[in-house]
Structure formats: C-alpha cells, structure tokens
Amino acid sequence: MSGLVDRHVAFVEALRAAGLPVSLAEDVDAARAITRLPLDDREILRTAYAATLVKRETHRSAFDALFDLYFPALVGAGRTAREDEEVGDDAGPQDTGPALKDFQQRMAEAMSAGDRDAQLELAIEAVGTFGFLPGRGPRMSSFSAYQALKRTAPEELVAQIVEGLMSRGLDEDSARRRAAGTIAAFRQMVEGDALRRIAEEKGAEHVAKTTVRPTIDKLDFSSARAADLEQMRREIYPLARRLATRLTQEHHSRRRGPLDFRRTVRASISTGGVPLVTHQKPKRPHRNELVVLCDVSGSVAKFAQFTLLLVFALRDQFTKVRAFTFVDHVHEVTDHFRPGADVADVMAELAAATSQAALWGRTNYGRAFSKFTESYADALGPKTSLLVLGDARSNYSDLQLDVFADMVDSCRHTWWLNPEHTRNWGAGDSAAPRYAEIAPMVECRNLTQLGEFVHDIL
C-alpha cells in the first residue's frame, strides 16, 4: 500500500507541475476514491482520477499522458516479449530486410481491418524491435519512437491501406481520411510505448519533466504549435469578452451624466423646495474603441500568431478596432478582421500582408512608432485604448520615447503585453524598462497570464 501512496503523491505532483490546479481537498478525494475501486481495472482507475482531479476539458490530454506514465498498462517488453527473451549487448534490430517487410505487411493488414488491438501489439513490437537504442551499461539503453517510426515508415503504406479500405466498401476520399487518422493513431501508440519504456528505465518524473507538454493555459506562446492555435482561440474569446466588459464598466463607473435640472427641481417639491436628491441625465452610449499594435518580427513569430488571434477575438467585442502590424514600418491589417471571416483564411492573408511591414528586416520600435504617428495619428483619441504587443527588443536603435509618450498621452488607456519573462527585460537590446516607464508593461507568456491581466486591468 505504501508503494501505491507514493505513486499517488508523485502523480498528483506531476499534474500540478503540468499546470492542472489540483487542490489538497481534491487530492484527498482522489485517494479515497481509489481505495474503494478494483485496482486491477486500469480504465476504472483512470476514470476515478479524472473525475476527482480534472476540471477542464483542455487539461485532459496532459492528464492522460501523465496517467499513462505513472500507471502504465504494460511493463518491460510488453505483450510481445517471450518469457525466455534476454536483452544482450548486441540486442536491437537485427534484420531490416525480410523481417521489416513482414512487419509492414502485418501493419497494413491491421490498419486496413481497423483492428486497434492488433495495431497496439504492432506498436509495442515496433518500439522493442526497431526502436531499441543499445547502450553501454545495463541501464543506459533506451528506446526511440522516432527511430521506430522512421524504420517502419507507416506513411508509406497509405496506398495499400486505402486499397484495403476501398475493398471493404469505402469510397476513395473516405478511405484516405480513415487511413490518415489510423496512421496518426498508430504514431501516438508508438510514441506512448516508447515513453513507457523510458519511464521504466529513468523514472516517470524524468519523462514527465522533459516530454509532457503543459496544459494549454500554461503553455508558453513561444512553444505553441499549429495544432495549439485552435485551442487557444477557444480560450481567448471569453477573455476578450471580459476585457471589453471591464473597459465599459470602468467608463460608466467614473463618468456620471450631466445634471437634469428639471427633474431635480421637480423632486425637490416634496421636500419643500430643498434639492436633497439630485438627478442626472442618462449617460450617452459609450463606444469601445481599441487600437492594437503587433510586433510580427522573427523574434516573436509564435507570439505574433497569438496576438493576431487575440485581435480576431477582440474584433467581435469592441465597437471599433483598428489593428496594425510592424517590424520597422507599420501596416494596417484591420480589413482582414471582417465579421464572419474564417480564422485560417485570415491568418493566411496576414502572412502575406505582414511581409509589407518590414523594410529593413530588423525590428525598430522607434521607427515604427514614428511612422504610426505620421500615417495613422487619427487612430488615437480620448476614447481609444491602445494595446501594444511585442518584446520591446529594438536592435539598439533610437527608441523615440517622446513619440511613444505622445501616443500614450493621446489615449484613454495604454497597455503593453510582453511575451518575455521579466528577468530578461533590459538584457541585451531589450528596451522594456524604458518603455515601461511610459506605459504599463505586463509579462504575458501564456493564457493564464493573459487572464490575470484582464482581471487586474482596472
């Protein structure tokens, strides 16, 4: 039982390290739940842990990855190992000819038949046979999913798999989609089994720290992949609504309508002509106007993708939004964020549009601010909120601090979101501390920090 307790504690700590908010009460609830369940059923154990520890759908992928590490379905070489099999110094893939062709044939047949159990068996075999990396000591050997997939090359079997699926009644388009999905699932099986074997050798904690990606809200924008953008988009839209709401609330709380003299005098009749209560005229509708300046240089390329998604979300929440991208020159991209536009199409259009923003190929914030003031001064006004998105690294160029100060003074609010850690502000060519003296600068490396910014904005 002590071993199970230690594994439970390590698993919960790994979840917290990956970004899942697991409280002490939830930790205790999970421990109580597993003591009342049959421990020989792994899927029931997974369900119990998920029900007590996972609160958001976006956290499920990280949870499953860590659960598979700390509570693996197999041990050692898995179901393909022979009882008398021993791993020697010359262990590893011995035959890359007939054995490999036979393996690929069996893999194509299993994928064509849609037999997931057989595919799992083959994934285990692929890692053990073709992904083994012999080491110089008893615990120095390891396994590589990359090598196993490179040698077995499941993507080369697409035509054979499609042919097999079409023989079972599927049309060509459906067969190709099914084949692509099956190969992707097989790759995940191979990667999962390789991680399982490495975790047995080096410990689950080591694998969790080096390979398991954090949850989407803790994932640094600089580490985001194309597949993460859609998840980020779903998370950004609620934050955009909150940002627009907080700006409107702040405006109404600080501005009262003009005195309504007639209503005040009329109400004073009941108190003998003494105006104990004053009445104001209704407030004029407030127009939320936002101007966004996005640095799209190479140093913040991944962050630029996030900023454009943020602008896309803000476009639906503010009455008027004007968006500009820059490297050393400014280019307006407002027209790309039209209502009802597809995000993928907009991102593709902006990939071409933002190329016009760079004249010299090096980030120059001072020049960009000067060009913005010269060409788009009408974009800023007393009703405008200015949002600058960038790392403030200006390649030791003239910062034009007075120009930026004039821009800030002409706006109602100004904020700067910086994707770099605060410890790096001021290092090298970073001008973050100097710009931060003019406008509030906030570290914004992930969605959690973006949410905190929206919460603390006013």
Q: What is the per-residue pLDDT across 409-448, written as a single tens digit (0 to 9) for each?
A: 999 889 999 989 999 999 989 999 999 999 999 998 888 8
Domain boundary residue, one of 40, 70, 100: 70
**Whether 186 and 171 share a structural domain:** yes
| C-alpha 309 chain-centroid distance | 12
pLDDT at 139 over 70: no
The span from the CA of 398 to the CA of 433, in Å, is 15
Q: What is the model's pLDDT at position 403?
A: 94
The span from the CA of 54 to the CA of 156, in Å, is 38
pLDDT at 352 over 90: no
**Whether 262 and 230 share a structural domain:** no
Q: What is the model's pLDDT at position 253?
A: 47
Give the model's confidence band at 35: pLDDT under 50 very low, under 70 low, under 90 confident, else very high. confident
Q: How many CB atoms lie within 10 A of CB 4?
A: 12
Q: Of the given ranges (60-64, 127-131, 207-211), which has the lowest mean pLDDT? A: 207-211
Question: For 23-39, what is the mean pLDDT?
Answer: 89
The span from the CA of 6 to the CA of 314, in Å, is 46
Q: How many residues does the chain have?
A: 458
Number of domains in the chain: 4
**Whether 126 and 61 share a structural domain:** no
pTM beyond 0.85, yes or no: no
The span from the CA of 231 to the CA of 58, in Å, is 8
**CATH number for 412:** 3.40.50.410
The rounded percent of the chain whose pLDDT value lies above 70 is 80
The span from the CA of 111 to the CA of 143, in Å, is 24
> Does the residue 398 lie in any domain?
yes
Computed over every residue of the chain, the mean pLDDT equals 80
Q: How do residues 381-408 score in pLDDT, each as one tens digit? A: 888 889 998 899 988 889 999 999 999 9
**Whether 264 and 249 share a structural domain:** no
Name the helix (H) or strand (E) containing 188: helix 172-202
Q: What is the model's pLDDT at position 206?
A: 77
Q: How many CB atoms lie within 10 A of CB 41?
A: 11
> Does the residue 418 lie in any domain?
yes
Q: Which residue has the higher pLDDT, 220 or 137?
A: 220
Contact 53, 23 (CB under 8 A): no
**Whether 268 and 373 share a structural domain:** no
**Whether 28 and 42 share a structural domain:** yes
The rounded percent of the chain whose pLDDT value lies above 90 is 19
Q: What is the model's pLDDT at position 354?
A: 57
> Does the residue 82 lie in any domain?
no
> Does the residue 156 lie in any domain?
yes
**Whether 364 and 446 share a structural domain:** yes
> Does the residue 9 lie in any domain?
yes
> Does the residue 313 lie in any domain?
yes
- E strands within 69-199? 132-133, 142-143
**Whether 242 and 296 share a structural domain:** yes
**Whether 126 and 190 share a structural domain:** yes
**Could you list the residue range(s) of the whole structural domain that residue 142 is in?**
111-201
Q: What is the model's pLDDT at position 47?
A: 92
**Exposed/middle/buried for 57, CB within 10 Å: 0-12, 13-18, 19+?**
exposed
Question: For 363-392, what is the mean pLDDT?
Answer: 90
> Does the residue 103 lie in any domain?
no
Q: What is the model's pLDDT at position 361?
A: 64
Structure token digits, residue 256:
């009262």
Q: Where are the alpha helices (DSSP H) in 35-72?
A: 42-53, 60-70
The span from the CA of 73 to the CA of 71, in Å, is 7
**Whether 310 and 405 share a structural domain:** yes
Structure token digits, residue 431:
């001008």
Q: Which residue has the tokens 């790994």?
A: 14
Q: How do residues 64-110 score in pLDDT, each as one tens digit? A: 888 988 888 766 665 544 344 444 444 444 555 788 888 888 998 89
Closest by alpha carbon to 192, among 143, 251, 235, 246? 143
Give the model's confidence band at 353: pLDDT under 50 very low, under 70 low, under 90 confident, else very high. low
The span from the CA of 201 to the CA of 89, in Å, is 16
> Does the residue 333 lie in any domain?
yes
**Whether 319 and 262 share a structural domain:** no
Q: Which residue has the higher pLDDT, 216 or 367?
A: 367
The span from the CA of 301 to the CA of 316, in Å, is 24
Return contacts of 305-309, CB within 8 angstroms, 24+ apart: 305/221, 305/224, 305/229, 305/347, 306/221, 306/224, 306/229, 306/232, 306/236, 307/389, 307/417, 308/346, 308/347, 308/350, 309/229, 309/232, 309/233, 309/236, 309/343
pLDDT at 373 over 70: yes
Q: What is the model's pLDDT at position 265?
A: 84
Q: For 443, list phi and psi in degrees, rounded to 5.
A: -70, 125
Contact 115, 148 (CB under 8 A): no
Closest by alpha carbon to 383, among 279, 250, 268, 287? 287
Q: What is the model's pLDDT at position 453?
A: 82
Q: 172-202 and 60-70 are packed helices; what angle lies between their axes, rounded to 10 degrees?
A: 50
SS (H, E, C) 294-328: EECCHHHHHHHHHHHHHHHHHHCCCCEEEEEEECC
Q: What is the model's pLDDT at position 335?
A: 81
| C-alpha 9 chain-centroid distance | 27
Q: Which residue has the higher pLDDT, 232 or 252?
A: 232
Ramachandran category for residue 58: left, alpha or beta (phi over 0 → left; psi -120 to 50 → alpha): alpha
pLDDT at 362 over 50: yes
**Whether 8 and 53 share a structural domain:** yes
